[in-house]
Structure formats: structure tokens, C-alpha cells
């Protein structure tokens, strides 16, 4: 029975990806706007506008080598990231732009269609990322920026129209990984850390709800221990190859706690609905099935862009070795997926079944 179930999931996911790749006509927009919050997995260039010279940026080659312009944009990818590709599946021609890139009339025209507030290196805690990068935009400040946008919309359109638009829009959140990686360097009480992380997450979701959000698409923390950077960490610390298990254990434990929190919030907050993507299961599934009719990954451990063991010892930049076929690689750099993997993630979030997305997928969420 277990083998039959696994086979069914494999066939279903392959058909999903093939159908998305084969779709030629762009569908109508399913929601009026999409607002994005989180870290480098969904940042589309906000960090390019920060003042600090040590900030986490991806505004140089080889980043963006497969982007339509073949130029770096601030995305930590060879091309599009998951937020971009999910926006396309929702019917948007372009992903929501970086908040810090908008000024004046551009802000007024974009705020009704969606904005991206995400910042590479950031986390749920205000201090996450500061030691490594000097300046990031934590979730608290991302929500402050969004509050200013809501205030502007309300002044222009009135509270009723603003509330109506926000209640029908998608709020996409991908965060928590940087908090977890930093915590793992000097671990304390794991249960206490995870409870605190989820409690902070709850506070921010509640704050967005208070400002008018009703439809939340949340993606959980993936198996961070299998990142090239963490494989290198295990090699240095233990002298053995493989995923860094202590970090994977934390990632795995966080999912049911996040799921329970969202379920409880949906019960407490009238009109709140959500779709939770299980990133740990998604990535683990691709690891277990690297070659299917829909994709073929031949390099599962090393980064496409970078040098040294696992492509993680030397940073991805214009002088780093670059793989020729990005479609073969699971990882783009030491910490981020390739566009190919982001595409699988977006398609699964959008139309996947309850093996990976609960209690509904993003398409169902948008149509509510």
C-alpha cells in the first residue's frame, strides 16, 4: 500500500509540473493583488536599496544569468524565484516589485496589484541577519512598510474599497530559515526556540489580518541541513559527507507546530483562510525522485555557482565556476535553489494535493 501511495504521488506531481510547463496561454488573474513577505527565497531586489556595504545582495553576475534580461536583479537565483513563479500562476504578468524600488506615481500604480517586501538575510526575529550582513529588513519592518501602503491606499480609495481588495488578495510568506540557521550555531533549548519562533510568526500573521489580510499562502522551512553550505559544515565538523542532521531535525519539527498555529488562528479569526506548503516534504520528495518525466536532476548536493567542496566554500560571483546546465542542479548557490526547483515549488503550492499543501492549495485559496 505504501508503494502504491508513493507511485500515485509521483505520477500526480509529474503531471502537475508537465501541465504547468505545457500551458501556453496565461490565465486571467485569480486575485487582485499579491503581497510578499520573507527572506532571500522570495526577495526580488529590496536589499539592493539598503545603505550598508555588507548587506546581503545578489546584484552582480552570475546571478540572473537565466533571467529574461540575463542580468542580476537582486534575486538569489539563476532566474526567477518561487514568488515570481507563483505570481505567474496566479495570472500576473510580472511578479510584485520590490517595495524599496517604488517611488511616487509608481507606488500608487503598483500598490493595488501587489508589492514584495522580502529581504535577503532577514528573519522573524529583529536581530536575525544583522551580525552577518549589517542591514536587513526584518519582518517587523516589512509589516511597517505594508502598514504605510495600506494607509496610503485608504487615503486614496477609502477604507471600504481598500478592505475589499486586501481581503481578496494573496499574502505570501516565506521566512524562518535564517532564524533557524543562526540558532543552530549556538543551540540552547530546541523546544523553547521553536515555540518562540512560531509564536512570533503568529504575531505577524495576526498583525497582517488586522490590517486587512485574509488569504495567506505560507511555505514552511525546508530541510536546511541539506543545503550545500550545511553539507560543507558537516564535512568540516564531522569529517563525513551528508546532510547536517541537527538542522534537519529542527526543520522537520517546526512544520507541525506551524501547521497547528495556522489552524488555530483560522478558527479564532473570522474569515481567515490559508494554504500551508510543506517545504520539507516537497524537497525530500525531489531528493527521493530526482529523475521523472517532469524533471531530471543529476546534481543533488553541490551548487551550480560557487567553488570548493559542494560549491559552497567560495561564494557565487562573476569569478566563480558556473555549471553549464542549471536544469540539472537542485541548488543554484550555497543556500538557494535553482529556478527549476523554484518552478516545482510554485506549481506544487498552486495546484498540489494534500501530500504537500494543506488544507487547500493556492489556486483553491484564490478562488474562495
Per-residue model confidence as pLDDT tens digits over 180-189: 999 999 999 9
- Alpha-carbon distance values, 362 to 176, 242, 276 (Å): 20, 33, 9
CA 140/CA 35 separation, integer angstroms:
15
Give per-residue pLDDT as tens, 190-229: 999 999 999 999 999 999 999 999 999 999 999 999 999 9
pLDDT at 272 exceeding the cut of 90: yes
Residue 3, C-beta contacts closer than 8 angstroms, at least 6 positions apart: none
Quick one: pLDDT at residue 104?
Answer: 83
pLDDT at 318 exceeding the cut of 60: yes
Quick one: pLDDT at residue 52?
Answer: 75
CA 215/CA 164 separation, integer angstroms:
12
Which residue in 91, 107, 114 sits closest to 166, CA to CA?
Answer: 114
Cell of 322: 558556473
In terms of C-beta density within 10 A (0-12 exposed, 13-18 middle, 19 or more buried), how is residue 188 classed? exposed
Residues 289-314 have a mean pLDDT of 96
Q: Enumerate the active-site residues.
A: 40, 333, 336
Strands 273-277 and 357-358: antiparallel
Give per-residue pLDDT as tens, 319-358: 999 999 999 999 999 999 999 999 999 999 999 999 999 9
pLDDT: is 311 or 9 the higher one? 311
User: Is residue 265 within 8 Å of residue 257, measured between CB atoms?
Assistant: no
Which pLDDT band holds residue 148 (cuts at 50, 70, 90)? very high
CA 236/CA 116 separation, integer angstroms:
37
CA 350/CA 364 separation, integer angstroms:
8
CA 167/CA 269 separation, integer angstroms:
13
For the ranges 7-16, 278-287, 291-300, 304-313, which has the lowest average pLDDT?
A: 7-16
The pLDDT mean for the chain works out to 93
SS3 245: helix
Give per-residue pLDDT as tens, 79-131: 999 999 999 999 999 899 999 999 888 898 899 999 999 999 999 999 999 98
CA 124/CA 198 separation, integer angstroms:
9
pLDDT at 171 exceeding the cut of 50: yes
Task: Tell me how far apart the 2 most distant CA atoms of the chain are, in Å.
Answer: 61
Residues 297-304 have a mean pLDDT of 98
pLDDT at 158 exceeding the cut of 60: yes
Q: What are phi and psi of 294, to 5 degrees?
A: -100, -25
pLDDT at 25 exceeding the cut of 50: no
SS3 224: helix
pLDDT at 8 exceeding the cut of 50: no
Quick one: pLDDT at residue 283?
Answer: 97
Residue 144, C-beta contacts closer than 8 angstroms, at least 6 positions apart: none
Element (H, E) at 35: strand 34-38
Cell of 252: 522537520
26-224+249-280+341-367 belongs to which CATH class?
A: alpha beta
Quick one: pLDDT at residue 16?
Answer: 61
Q: What are phi and psi of 94, to 5 degrees?
A: -130, 150
Sign, CA torsion 329/331/333/336:
positive
Quick one: pLDDT at residue 9?
Answer: 54
DSSP code, position 251: H
CA 320/CA 3 separation, integer angstroms:
42
Residues 244-249 have a mean pLDDT of 97
CA 188/CA 204 separation, integer angstroms:
24
pLDDT at 63 exceeding the cut of 80: yes
Quick one: pLDDT at residue 132?
Answer: 87
Amino acid at each position: 500500500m505504501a508503494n502504491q501511495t508513493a507511485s500515485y504521488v509521483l505520477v500526480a506531481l509529474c503531471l502537475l509540473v508537465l501541465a504547468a510547463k505545457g500551458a501556453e496561454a496565461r490565465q486571467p488573474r485569480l486575485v487582485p493583488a499579491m503581497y510578499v513577505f520573507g527572506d532571500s527565497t522570495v526577495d526580488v531586489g529590496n536589499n539592493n536599496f539598503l545603505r550598508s556595504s555588507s548587506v546581503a545582495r545578489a546584484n552582480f553576475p552570475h546571478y540572473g544569468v537565466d533571467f529574461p534580461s540575463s542580468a542580476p536583479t537582486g534575486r538569489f537565483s539563476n532566474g526567477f524565484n518561487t514568488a515570481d513563479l507563483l505570481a505567474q500562476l496566479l495570472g500576473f504578468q510580472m511578479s510584485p516589485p520590490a517595495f524599496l524600488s517604488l517611488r511616487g506615481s509608481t507606488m500608487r500604480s503598483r500598490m493595488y496589484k501587489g508589492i514584495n517586501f522580502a529581504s535577503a538575510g532577514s528573519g522573524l526575529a529583529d536581530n536575525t541577519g544583522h551580525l552577518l550582513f549589517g542591514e536587513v529588513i526584518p519582518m517587523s519592518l516589512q509589516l511597517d512598510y505594508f502598514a504605510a501602503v495600506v494607509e496610503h491606499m485608504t487615503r486614496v480609495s477609502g477604507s471600504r474599497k481598500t478592505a475589499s481588495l486586501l481581503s481578496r488578495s494573496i499574502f505570501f510568506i516565506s521566512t524562518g530559515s535564517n532564524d533557524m540557521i543562526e540558532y543552530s550555531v549556538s543551540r540552547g533549548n530546541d523546544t523553547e526556540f521553536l515555540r518562540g519562533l512560531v509564536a512570533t510568526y503568529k504575531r505577524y500573521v495576526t498583525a497582517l489580518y488586522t490590517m486587512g489580510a485574509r488569504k495567506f499562502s505560507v511555505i514552511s522551512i525546508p530541510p536546511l541541513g541539506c543545503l550545500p553550505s550545511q553539507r560543507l559544515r558537516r564535512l568540516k565538523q564531522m569529517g563525513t559527507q551528508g546532510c547536517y542532521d541537527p538542522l534537519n531535525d529542527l526543520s522537520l519539527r517546526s512544520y507541525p507546530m506551524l501547521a497547528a498555529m495556522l489552524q488555530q488562528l483560522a478558527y479564532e479569526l473570522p474569515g481567515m483562510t490559508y494554504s500551508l506548503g510543506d517545504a520539507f516534504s516537497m524537497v525530500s520528495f525531489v531528493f527521493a525522485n530526482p529523475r521523472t518525466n517532469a524533471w531530471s536532476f543529476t546534481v543533488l548536493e553541490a551548487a551550480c555557482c560557487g567553488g570548493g567542496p559542494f560549491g559552497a566554500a567560495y561564494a557565487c560571483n562573476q569569478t566563480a565556476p558556473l555549471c553549464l546546465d542549471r536544469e540539472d542542479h537542485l541548488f543554484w548557490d550555497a543556500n538557494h535553489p535553482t529556478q527549476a526547483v523554484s518552478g516545482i515549488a510554485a506549481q506544487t503550492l498552486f495546484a498540489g494535493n494534500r501530500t504537500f499543501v494543506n488544507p487547500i492549495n493556492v489556486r483553491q485559496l484564490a478562488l474562495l
